[in-house]
Each structure stands twice: as C-alpha cells, then as structure tokens.
Amino acid sequence: MNKIPKLLQLILVVGGIYCAFVLVFDVILQQVIPNSLLNMYMFFIAAGVLAVYTFTEEGTEELLAPIKALVENPDKVRTRNIVFVLTPLVVAAYIYSQLLPSIEAPVELRSIHPAPPSSVKIYGKRYDLKTLENPYRVLETEDPEKFRELVSTGADIYIQNCHFCHGDKLDGQGPYAAGLNPVPLNFQDVGTIAQLQESFLFWRIATGGPGLPDEAAPWISSMPIWQDFLSEDEIWQVILYLYDYTGRRPRSWEE
C-alpha cells in the first residue's frame, strides 16, 4: 500500500465504496436509491475515511503532501497552472448543470393509503372516522329496492364527476389519467377500496388531495375537494356505487 500516495488511496477507497453501492443496489438488487440518499451516505463515508487518514499528524502530512508540492514546488509550474485553470472551470460547469431545469420526474416515495386522522372536519362538522358509517348501507338488507335506486344515483354522480380520472370502468384509466402523477387510483384493484372503510373514502373524497395529512408528503395529488361540489348525501351515494360496481365489500372495523 505504501507505494500508492495516500491522497490517491483515499480517492480509490471512497470511489470503490461508491461503485460497490451502485453495483449492489442498481445491478444486483435492481432497487432505485434516491440520489439524495446516496449523496448523504457518501458524505458520511468520505468524512469517515478522511478521519481515519488524518488520525495522526504524519498521516495528515502524507495525505496533503501532493497538494503542498503542487502549490509550492517550482518544478510543477505547468501542472499547477493547468490545475488552477481547470478546477474553477469544472466547478462552474457543475453549478451550471445544476441550474438547468430537469425534465425528469422527481422520485416519489409515498404511501398510497396514509393513516387517516382520527377525527376530521368535513362540511364544517367534526366527524370521528372510527364510528362514522354510510347512512345508506343498512338499506342494502332493509330496503333493497331503495338501495338499488341510491346506487344508480351514485352511478350518475360518478359519470358526471369522477370518470374523467378514475375511468368509466373504475380502473383508474380515465381520459385524464395519463397526464396525472400520482395516478388516479384503480378501484378494481384489491389494494384500494377493498382495503378501506367507507368512512375513509368519505374523508378522502370530501377533502381530496389537499386534505391529506402532512406525514404523507410529498402530496401533489390532483384529487379534487368534493365537499365544495357535492353534498354529503351525494358522496355517500357515490361510495355505494364504487363498491357495487366493483363487487368489493367495504372493510369494517370488526374484521
């Protein structure tokens, strides 16, 4: 090891760890790690390696020797000039590249179903989501005819308001869907409404993307705030339709 100058050793160690990270995550595990996270890891690793190399005074001197020689040694005028011109150019190019707008979508790490707040304010009233129930659900057994009527009103509300994004087959493939990120949810998928209580849907539909809790950030959801456009009854009816059309059952607290 003594043959390799310490400064070069340090660069090789840090560079080697970086390559190992990329190899393990990108190539072997096929997992994307956000650049910001990788940069943070690399910062701590570089700081750690630097601490080891500068642990003794001799070590520090040896490490800095090439830099010192470059600045002080009269034989190195040419190299010095090249380095002194190139370094600011490289830094300037890097900063310039950071200023250019990027066309890549930022990596989104988000939970699809954030934990609901226990109580929420909707239509100016406080609701406890743990006890809130769809007032029309009982009609399913008690008055099936009236229930069918409400489901079909729900269908009309859906076609007038929701299909643009969530699709006429409730599969998240509405005409606007391709332009949205995050995408409108697919209610046919077992991962969406089948996992949820009706009160959770009521909250999500009434307060939309802006109603999502802070911990679910980054939220840039296009889901509108429906309490501004639909009545409470209409929201409960459209919820009936969502379950009826997809053949899913709402989750209950007892399960």
Q: Are 220 and 156 in contact (CB under 8 A)?
A: no
User: Distance of CA 29 to CAs 26, 39, 68, 108, 111, Å?
Assistant: 6, 19, 42, 19, 22
- In the complex with ligand HEC, which residue's Cβ is closer, 197 or 221? 221
| Residues listed for the chain | 255
CB atoms near residue 126 (< 10 Å):
8
> Residue 115 carries which side chain, given as an amino acid letter?
A
- Taking alpha carbons only, the member of 96, 70, 101, 68 closest to residue 83 is 70
Q: Which residues bind ligand HEC (CB under 6 A)?
A: 113, 161-162, 164-166, 176, 180, 182, 184-185, 192-193, 196, 201, 204-205, 209, 221-224, 226, 238
Give the position of tokens 């129930």: 133
